[in-house]
Structures are given as C-alpha cells and as structure tokens.
Copies of this chain bind each other. A is one copy, B any other.
Amino acid sequence: MIYLDHNATTPLRPEALEAMLPWLGERWGNPSSPHRFGHDARVAVEGARERIAACVGCRPSEIVFCGTGTESDNLALRGSAHALRPKGRHLVTTAIEHHAVLHTCRALEAEGFRVTYLPVSAGGVVDLDALEASLGPETILVSVMHANNDTGVVQPVEEIAALTRERGVRLHVDAVQTAGKLARRPGDLGADLVTFSAHKLYGPKGVGALYVREGTPLTPVTTGGGHERGFRAGTENVAGIVGFAEAAARTFDGLEAESRRVSGLRDRLERQLLETVPRVSVNGAGSTRVPNTSSLSFQGIDGESIVLGLDLRGICASTGSACSTGEPEPSHVLLAMGLSRREAQGSIRLSLGRATRDEDVDVTVAALAETVQQLRRISSVR
C-alpha cells in the first residue's frame, strides 16, 4: 500500500506507541487522584505538556489538551466569542477554513454573532486588504488557518497577526496542517490561540491541543472538574497525551531536513504528472505551500472515481478534507479559489509523509495516468 493521505491522518510513530504503553498498562492512575500512583500520571501529563510547549515555543501553562483538533478549534472560537461578547459580536474568518471552524462560525451566527468569510485569491491565499477592511470596532476575533488542508497553501498569518495586534483584536490560527511540517515555531506566529491535532503529526487519534497565550480571555466549552486549568474539564487521556508529546518532539526534531525531502518528492510528483497526464492542473501551485500536499484537478472526470481507481491499485488518496458525512459536495476550498463545480469535482489531494519514497511517486504517477485514461474513456464530458 502506498499511503498518500497524510493530511487526513498519519501513522502513529512506533516510539510514540512505546511511550504510551505503560500508561495503557501498569500505570493506569488518574492524574487527579490524591495518591502517588495518581501523581505518577500527573507527572507524565505535565511532562508531556512541557515537551509540547518546547516544540511549539510557548510556556507549558499555555497548552490546553483537548480531545481533537476540532474540539480545540471549537474552544478557540466559541470560547473567545463567549468571553468577548460584551466587547462585540463580529468575527472574521476565511471561506477556506476547515469545517471545524466554518461550522462553528455558523453555530455562532445562530447565536447572534456576525461572521465575515473572507475571499481568497485564485492561488488560495486570503486577501489581506479585504481582511483589513473587514475589521471594525465590533470585531473580537479573527480566525485564519496556517495552511489549508486541501491545497496546502500557507496563509500570511504573521502579517495578519500584525494587523490584529495593532487593532487589539484576538487572533486564532488553526495550525493543524503546519505543525510538524513548517520550521516556523507556532508560538512565534503572533497569534493568541493556536490549534494542534496529534494524529496529524504521527501522534495518536483522540488528542488535540490549544495554545492559549497567557491572559487570553476564553470561556470554557466543557465544564466540570476543573482540569486543564478550567479550560477543558474531563479526565485526561494520559496515554494519548504522552504519545502526542513523544510524536511531536520527534517530528519537530529534524523537521527542516524532512521537509526538504518531502517537498522534493512532491515537486517530482507534480512534474512527472504534468508531463504524463494531459489536462491536469495543480491548485495553488504558484503559492507558498506546505511541503507534502498536492491538490490536482483533472478535467472531465470525477475525483471520487479517481480515488477509487487509485485505491484499487493500492494507493490511498483523497478527494480533499476527510469529512465523515460522505456528502458529494465538491471542496468549498477549491470553489472559493474560483474553480467551477465540475473542476472542483474533478480534484484529488495527494499528501505525502515520512514513509513516502521515490518509487512511491513513480508508481503513483503511473497509476494515476492509467486511472485517468480509463475514466476519460468512460466520461461523457471532455
């Protein structure tokens, strides 16, 4: 199997599993229990927090562990909106955010908040002028992803941070698709809130984190026993948190070399593909992208069919963000970049990872060429 769906999820690093096992075995204590056996687990959780803070570039007390990246996004958006409601009811985001952000904005609209969805360029980059123009006295939060999950296009979050800081508006950055891929330390982006998800950087599923800059107003979404300094109640997923830290530490370590390697492979893949297959385009090709992602549009055929064609040839690809609904909607990201419905429908995403090798690229290009040719033979559209 050639796995080219790393933006959906990544394999757990064996070292991370190794680090988790004691906490799934003989060290099962509850970190909040008032005995040394529980304290042992507390020390593990706090140690993991320190390791992740070191990767991210922040203080340990600024890391809040959550159950998923989605939950972290929800905490950032709902938590800011509810904490800052007295100051204003206007939020700004982009049309290309992950559903964890977009659908949460919709939910906040239903609560009476106003949300601006900023357009992006044909290259998939958010329009900075539009962003600046959107900021008003009522604006309390801007939420912009660091890199898009479908296209890999990196957003100018540092520039945005400069704007929001100047205006006294809080900034949330969803860094799920850049953490462990870009050398820039997320804590240095200038954001007040940053989302991470363990399973996107070779950690386990079931753990996310939100960086909450000290002093950032935030109302908790999940209340109870006061865990995570009151920001996220619930017994800690000790093993998951320890695995997250182990994976993050290893993934951030040596990140630059690996990024270069993977972007080399991705460029090679795109080059070969453009040479081999007619009527294909690379979405966001002209923009800065994370090294591992390639969004491809094939004229006249359907993305799901291409993905199945690849699947039957032993290659895991995706039509875009892995949404659980199985809805036939084409990517809202590509539509926002100006692609037609049919162009968006003819798109797939290849996302490379640590295990990807030269041969995988060659095999994939050949398989794609075959699949595309076969589907075009069937297609009623030219």
Q: B-contacting residues of A (Cβ < 8 Å)? A: 1, 3, 5, 8-12, 17, 20, 24-26, 28-38, 66-71, 73-74, 98-101, 103-104, 106-107, 197, 199, 204-208, 220-228, 233-240, 304, 307-308, 310-311, 316-319, 321-327
Closest to A208 in B: B234
Contact in complex: B98, A34 (CB < 8 Å): no
When chains A and B are docked, how far (Å) is the Cα of A208 from the Cα of B206?
11
**CB–CB B204/A67 < 8 A:** no
* Partner pick for A322 among B66, B107, B225, CB 8 A cutoff: B225
A225-B325, A240-B206, A322-B30 given as contacts; is B307 within 8 A of A67 (CB)? no
Are the CB atoms of B225 and A324 closer together than 8 Å? Answer: yes
CB distance from A367 to the nearest CB of B (A): 13
Residues of B within 8 A of A32 (CB): 8, 322-324
Pairs across A and B, CB under 8 Å, 24 listed: A17-B25, A32-B323, A33-B318, A38-B316, A67-B71, A69-B234, A70-B222, A70-B233, A71-B222, A99-B225, A99-B226, A100-B224, A100-B234, A103-B223, A103-B224, A107-B220, A204-B239, A205-B235, A205-B240, A206-B206, A206-B207, A225-B321, A226-B327, A237-B237
Establish whether residues A9 and B33, one from each chain, have CB atoms under 8 Å apart when the complex forms: yes
- From A107, which residue of chain B is reached at the shortest CB distance? B223
Which residue among A101, A208, A310, A318 has the maximum number of chain B CB atoms within 10 Å of its CB?
A: A318
Instruction: Output the residue of A70, A199, A222 with the most chain B CB within 10 A.
Output: A222
List B contacts of A9 (CB < 8 A).
28-30, 33, 235
**Do residues B98 and A224 form an inter-chain contact, with CB atoms below 8 A?**
yes
Give bound CA distance, A200 to B69, whole Å: 25
B contact residues around A5 at 8 Å (CB):
30, 33, 35, 37-38
Cβ of A169 to closest chain B Cβ, rounded Å: 23
Complex: A33 Cα to B220 Cα, angstroms: 31
Report the copy number of this chain in the oligomer.
Answer: 2
Q: Which residue of B lies closest to A1 (CB)?
A: B37
Q: How far is the CA of A326 from the CA of B318 in the complex (A)?
A: 46
Distance of A345 from chain B, by nearest CB (Å) = 13
Please name 20 further chain A to chain B contacts, defined as beta carbons within 8 Å, in addition to the given A5-B30, A33-B316, A225-B322, sorted by A numbering: A1-B37, A30-B205, A35-B317, A38-B322, A69-B235, A71-B222, A99-B224, A100-B225, A103-B224, A103-B225, A103-B233, A107-B223, A204-B239, A205-B235, A206-B237, A221-B221, A225-B324, A225-B325, A235-B322, A237-B240
CA of A319 to CA of B239, assembled, Å: 25
Residues of B within 8 A of A70 (CB): 222, 224-225, 227, 233-235
- CB neighbours (8 Å) of A34 from chain B are 304, 307-308, 311, 318-319, 322, 326
Question: Which B residues lie within 8 Å of A207 (CB)?
Answer: 206
> Is A233 touching B100 in the complex (CB atoms < 8 A)?
yes
Closest CB of chain B to A11's CB: distance in Å? 4
In the complex, the answer to whether B307 meets A35 with C-beta atoms within 8 Å is yes
Q: Cβ of A325: which chain B residues have Cβ within 8 Å of it?
A: 225-226
Which of B197, B236, B311 contacts A36 (CB under 8 A)?
Answer: B311
A220 to B103, CA, bound (A): 11
A200 → chain B closest CB, angstroms: 9
From B26, B31, B224, B304, contact of A73 by CB (8 A): B224
Query: How many Å from the CB of A333 to the closest CB on chain B?
Result: 14
A308 cross-chain contacts in B, Cβ below 8 A: 34-35
Closest chain B residue to A243 by CB distance? B24
Bound complex: CA A220 to CA B69 (Å): 16
A132 and B204 alpha carbons, distance in the complex (Å): 46
A324: B residues at CB distance < 8 A: 31-32, 225-228
